[in-house]
Structure 1
Amino acid sequence: MDARTEELRHAHDVLSDWYAKNLVGVLESMPVERAMLDMFAEMTLAVGPEVADVGCGTGRLLPYLAGRGLSPRGVDLSPGMIETARRENPGFEYAVADVRALPFEDASLAGVVCWFSLIYLAPDARDRAFAELARVVRPGGCLVTAFKHGDGTLHRNGPSSSLGVDFERYWMSAREMEDRFARAGFDMVFQGHTPPEDGGPPYGYMLVRRSADAELPGHRVRRPR
């Protein structure tokens, strides 16, 4: 594991309890985010119930997804986050994994959720990550993502610095996100954003569908490195 990835993993190990305490009930106060997840669930169920939350953190979205008829599982780079998820949101399957090497067979999922988890992708990691997301979603399946709008500039020294940790964050533009999904074989279904608040960046949302004519490679499972 490279130093940048190790830093990110360690930071989220430290942050896991903070997330568990401070994100409880947040989704209930965010109608736009619920609407995106609802639209994702309805469209995904036409293909199947099997979905993964990639970068699941404390697993806070899994009960909501399950309540919409999906069969979600969670993966996260941080062992600490996965331990917290199993404690705070039990009853689901969790695994430690990197978005660049997901532990799923080709086209084995009807959908994927990436909720503010793609903001940690450095430029040299993006091609592999988007290709890996495409690999595990079957044709016609969906992917929904929430992210922070920006110009791709590296950000450090965020609020987590007060907890003694820091890590790299990249706020990609909507254009880059759209282009990367298109190159990976996804068709755009919906995209939108919310206005910035308190001097922060606007939040972006995208729902994409795996192209129906996407080629399916031989089934295989990639293990985290």
Structure 2
Amino acid sequence: MDARTEELRDAHDVLAEYYAKNFADLLDDLPVERAVLDLFAEVTLAVGTEVADVGCGTGRLLPYLASRGLSPRGVDLSPKMIEVARRDNPGFPYEVADLRELPFADAALAGVVCWFSLIYLAPEARVPAFTELARVVRPGGHLVTAYKLGDGTLLREGASTQLGVNFDRYFLSAREMEDRFAAAGFTLVFQGSIPAEGNEPPYGYLLVRRTADAEAVAAAA
């Protein structure tokens, strides 16, 4: 594990209880995010129920996904986040893993959720990460992501929690996100955003569908 990834993991181990205390019910106050997740659930159910929340944190989204008919599991880089997820949102499978090395077989999932988890990818990590996400989603399956919009500038974050942690973040443009998903084998289904508010940047949302590879197309023919 490289130093940047270690720093991110260790910082989120420290942040786990803070997230559990402050963000557990956040989705209740975010109708746009619920609507995007609802759309993801509806189109994903046409393919299957098996989905993963990659970068699940404390597991706060898993009960909501389950309430929409999906069978979610959580993956996070931080062992402490997974520990808190198992405690606060039990009844779901959880695993510690890097999103560049996911613990799933090829095309094992009908869908993937990346809710603000792609903002930590350094430039050199993006191709491996997007390629790995494409690997685990079956043709016709979907991926939905929420992210913070920006110009890709490296940002350091963590001081606002007063917990003594810092880590790298990158807020990417909608164009870069679309292009990276397209290069990995996804097609755009939905794109949306909400404007900046207070100290927060604008948020972006993308829903993409995994395209069929050449072998799948040939088999279907």
Could you say which TM-score interval applies, normalised by the shorter chain?
Answer: over 0.9
Between the aligned partners of 1:112 and 1:193, the Cα distance in structure 2 is: 19
Please tell me the root mean square deviation across aligned C-alpha atoms, in Å.
1.1
Runs of 4+ in 1 over 6 A off after TM superposition: none
Between the aligned partners of 1:148 and 1:109, the Cα distance in structure 2 is: 25
Count of residue correspondences: 216
1:192-223 deviations in Å (ceiling 9; x for gaps): 1001000321000000000134657xxxxxxx
Between the aligned partners of 2:170 and 2:130, the Cα distance in structure 1 is: 15
Between the aligned partners of 1:119 and 1:214, the Cα distance in structure 2 is: 31
How many angstroms does 1:140 deviate by?
0.3
After superposition, residues 1-225 of structure 1 pair within 5 angstroms as: 1-160=1-160, 162-213=162-213
Between the aligned partners of 1:69 and 1:34, the Cα distance in structure 2 is: 14
Between the aligned partners of 1:66 and 1:26, the Cα distance in structure 2 is: 17
Q: Give structure 1 stretches of 5+ with no counterpart.
A: 217-225
Between the aligned partners of 1:161 and 1:155, the Cα distance in structure 2 is: 15
* TM-score, length-scaled by structure 2: 0.95
Between the aligned partners of 1:90 and 1:40, the Cα distance in structure 2 is: 23
Q: 1:54 to 1:214 in 2, by over 3 A?
A: farther
Whether the 8 Å contact between 1:174 and 1:204 is mirrored in structure 2 is yes
How many angstroms does 1:34 deviate by?
0.2
Between the aligned partners of 2:75 and 2:145, the Cα distance in structure 1 is: 15
* TM-score, length-scaled by structure 1: 0.94
**Residue identity opposite 2:119 in structure 1:** I
**Residue identity opposite 2:178 in structure 1:** E
1:51-82 deviations in Å (ceiling 9; x for gaps): 00000000000000000000000000000000
1:4-60 deviations in Å (ceiling 9; x for gaps): 000000000000000000012110110000000000000000000000000000000
How many angstroms does 1:160 deviate by?
4.4
Q: Give structure 2 stretches of 5+ with no counterpart.
A: 217-221
| SS of aligned partner of 1:63 | helix
Q: 1:195 to 1:28 in 2, by over 3 A?
A: same
**Residue identity opposite 1:168 in structure 2:** D
Whether the 8 Å contact between 1:55 and 1:115 is mirrored in structure 2 is yes
